[in-house]
A and B are shown apart, each in its own frame.
Chain A
Amino acid sequence: MSILEIIGSVFLLSGTLVCIIGGIGIVRFPNFFARIHAASVPDTLGAGLCLLGMVVLTCGLSPEQGYDAKLIALIIVKLVSIGIFIFVTSPISGHALAKSAYRDGLGVEPEDDAKSQTQEGAS
């Protein structure tokens, strides 16, 4: 196992760990806004770390495996553009969700969530 593979695996594992923590947060956090926070913040960091790990792993690919420098550069460019896309869209979608919930008058107390749930059920 080369040094690049080890570094890449560490990045990938920490990225998935962050994503799992975010998932636990979505289930455990008390109100809607905290849950949005748990959904969108680790999303950016976790996906970013995973992509970084993939970039490092790609750098470790050798010509013997059929990857020349041009192909590796192409893969890295694709991964980086995915990263930029996530970096722009993920915070914005979290913001849009939170803002529309705020406009709808959703409060921060846990009871408010339950109230809107029962309203949904009733109406």
Chain B
Amino acid sequence: MIIHGITIILFLFLYVIAIVIGRSRNLFAAVMLSGIFSLISACLFVIMDAVDVAFTEAAVGAGVSTVLMMIVLNLTSDRESPPVQPKVFPLLVALLTGGVLIYATKDMPAFGDPEALIHQSQTTNHYLWHSFEESHIPNVVTTVLASYRGYDTLGETTVVFTAAVAVMLLLGHVRESETPPKLINDPIALVGAKMLIPYILLFALYVQFHGDFGPGGGFQAGVMFAAAFVLHGMVLSPKHTLKAAPALIIEKLVALGVLLYAAVGIYCLFKGGNFLEYDVLLSHGEKPNPHGQHIGILLVEAGVGLTVFAAMLTLFYKFALRGKA
């Protein structure tokens, strides 16, 4: 009962924030509100017991993307220019899309419905009951993400890689200002950041390698690792971060992560298995082979973490090092 009340209140918050974002002309406020929107969504995911998703939402949506948007606002203006003409057509499109989405929810099962198709399916039952004996990893989400659905995750990592490459191509060799705008100019923030950065890095590594046992994994850890560098760049200056993590190396890491992921898959092919079939790693022919699964998942997660970290940091560099237009 209490949980229903909390859920309803959080959804009300989401509605209110969405409306305020839509009405606000102040882009700075809109960016901050969208960060709060993500944080509340993360709370809702926790209530639905989807802690891995909540973790990603909090780290990406509320954390790094808010900061990146603020850096972009630093380059442009934080006021939305007033509309030139009444926007009837966009309103129609928005209403139509919203209507279709609401209509589609009619076909969705109720939350936690045991009769729902997803809970009846053989695949789900196999994942839930046999994943531990096949990989010896307690967190089913990690096994599904990196092993059973490893091919999908390779695709997702490639999407992150493509996004980073697209930003590099679009903003690549535009004039970089000699003195990039100082983002936070404050000694107290500097001291605080110096205290926090080592622990953020340590926590990111924990999240990376603890993903097998609890919520976490490459996506969250990569974002956190990048967040530590972004914090460094914000309290000192992006030029200082550039010395600690040269852009040339970071750009190569974006590709290296995807390469590592794909290389594990191809190595599996050479060992006589299917693409990304980790059972053949460290194997003497037995199946299932938890050791192989474990090492495969570890390497693949490392690849994901590397790509996400490097992509986020590249985005930060590309925006923060530009002079004001």
CA–CA, A120 and B189, complex, Å: 27
Q: How far is the CB of B51 from chain A (nearest CB, A)?
A: 14
* List of A residues within 8 angstroms of B84 by Cβ: none
Main secondary structure of the interface of A (DSSP, over half): helix
Whether A92 contacts B79 by the Cβ 8 Å rule is no
CA–CA, A21 and B220, complex, Å: 35
CA–CA, A121 and B79, complex, Å: 10
Whether A88 contacts B79 by the Cβ 8 Å rule is no
**Which B positions have Cβ atoms within 8 angstroms of A?**
25-26, 79, 184, 186, 188-189, 192, 195-196
Q: How far is the CB of B21 from chain A (nearest CB, A)?
A: 15
Query: 14 A-B Cβ contacts within 8 A?
Result: A85-B196, A89-B192, A92-B188, A92-B189, A95-B186, A95-B188, A95-B189, A96-B184, A96-B189, A99-B186, A120-B25, A120-B26, A121-B25, A123-B79
Contact of B195 among A88, A96, A99, A120 (CB under 8 A): A88
* List of B residues within 8 angstroms of A123 by Cβ: 79
* List of A residues within 8 angstroms of B195 by Cβ: 88
* List of B residues within 8 angstroms of A99 by Cβ: 186
Q: How many A-B residue pairs have CB under 8 A?
A: 21
CA–CA, A30 and B79, complex, Å: 26
**Which A positions have Cβ atoms within 8 angstroms of B?**
85, 88-89, 92, 95-96, 99, 120-121, 123
Asked, given contacts A99-B186, A123-B79, whether A92 binds B192 with beta carbons under 8 Å apart, the answer is yes
**Chain B residue, CB-CB nearest to A121:** B25
7 nearest interchain CB pairs?
Answer: A92-B192, A96-B189, A95-B188, A88-B192, A92-B189, A120-B26, A88-B195
Q: How far is the CB of B225 from chain A (nearest CB, A)?
A: 17
* List of B residues within 8 angstroms of A95 by Cβ: 186, 188-189
* List of A residues within 8 angstroms of B188 by Cβ: 92, 95-96
